[in-house]
Structure 1
Amino acid sequence: MTTQTENTAALRPFVGRTFRIDYGEAMTVLNIYAEDGRTMRYEVLTGAFAGASAEVRYDAVEIDLGLYVLSWQEADKGTVVHVDDFSGGTSRSFYTTATHDFVRMAGTLTRVQAA
């Protein structure tokens, strides 16, 4: 039996898809969203954290058509908040590292075919 939350998650434009986020010189990341609408695997392709990857459980709130706030906590207790415009192709990221550094980034968001 599926719940209302599961049905809503299935309608989100990122569920079951992969997106490349290019934050310029800071980093490039692949976000691979699972079909469950609750978990995502990220892989950092470039930048200071190149090679890092993890699977996280996120919360997502739609704030406008195609515009979502996604948030999660890393295993090291760092926190991440994205404002991702899946219709407009932009991403803003705000995160606090485990060492309490606060980072803000803006970049492009592009859907890619999973490898």
Structure 2
Amino acid sequence: MTDTAFPALGHTYKADYGNPVFRVEFNADGKTLRWAPFDADDFEAVATTESYQATYIRPGVFMVTWQEADGVTVTHVEDFENGIVHGAITMPDKTFLTLKGDWLRLD
């Protein structure tokens, strides 16, 4: 991969950290994504929409960040070339989580 364009636009991914597992849909607009637990019975009903920023790191690797309405902050390092996602999440109570998992394109 040599393109600096964010490859997730208009696509859906599975972020599989073992526990938890999420479904992440990137809107083609390059500004919003929707996410929910992967095993949600009705994704449309439970998905949360977030505004995000994607920052190019190197070919095939992007840092994606967003802040949720409840104060949760999320940083992903998405490695599209190797199918790996690293997550760093700060909860409203300041608990800090770090995760590593598989990053699989579903469509």
State the partner residue of 1:36: 29
CA distance in 1: counterparts of 2:94 and 2:59, whole angstroms: 33
- Larger mean CA deviation between 59-68 and 37-46 belongs to 37-46
Residue identity (%): 30
CA displacement, residues 3-47 of structure 1 (integer Å, 9 cap, x when unaligned): xxxxx99x42100000001001x211011000100100001125x
Following superposition, the deviation at residue 99 of structure 1 comes to: 1.7
- Which of 86, 91, 94 aligns to 1:92? It is 86
Q: So what's the TM-score if we normalise by structure 1?
A: 0.80
Q: Give structure 2 stretches of 5+ with no counterpart.
A: 40-44
- Which of 68, 79, 89 aligns to 2:73? It is 79
User: What amino acid does structure 2 have at the position aligned with 1:43?
Assistant: A
Q: Give structure 1 stretches of 5+ with no counterpart.
A: 1-7
- Which of 9, 12, 18 aligns to 2:6? It is 12
CA distance in 1: counterparts of 2:81 and 2:33, whole angstroms: 19
Over aligned residue pairs, what C-alpha RMSD do you find? 1.9
User: What amino acid does structure 2 have at the position aligned with 1:44?
Assistant: P
Aligned residues between the structures: 100
CA displacement, residues 88-111 of structure 1 (integer Å, 9 cap, x when unaligned): 100000010112110000000000
CA distance in 2: counterparts of 1:12 and 1:81, whole angstroms: 15
Runs of 4 or more above 4 Å deviation: none
User: What amino acid does structure 1 have at the position aligned with 2:102?
Assistant: T
SS at match of 1:91: strand
State the partner residue of 2:42: none
SS at match of 2:38: strand
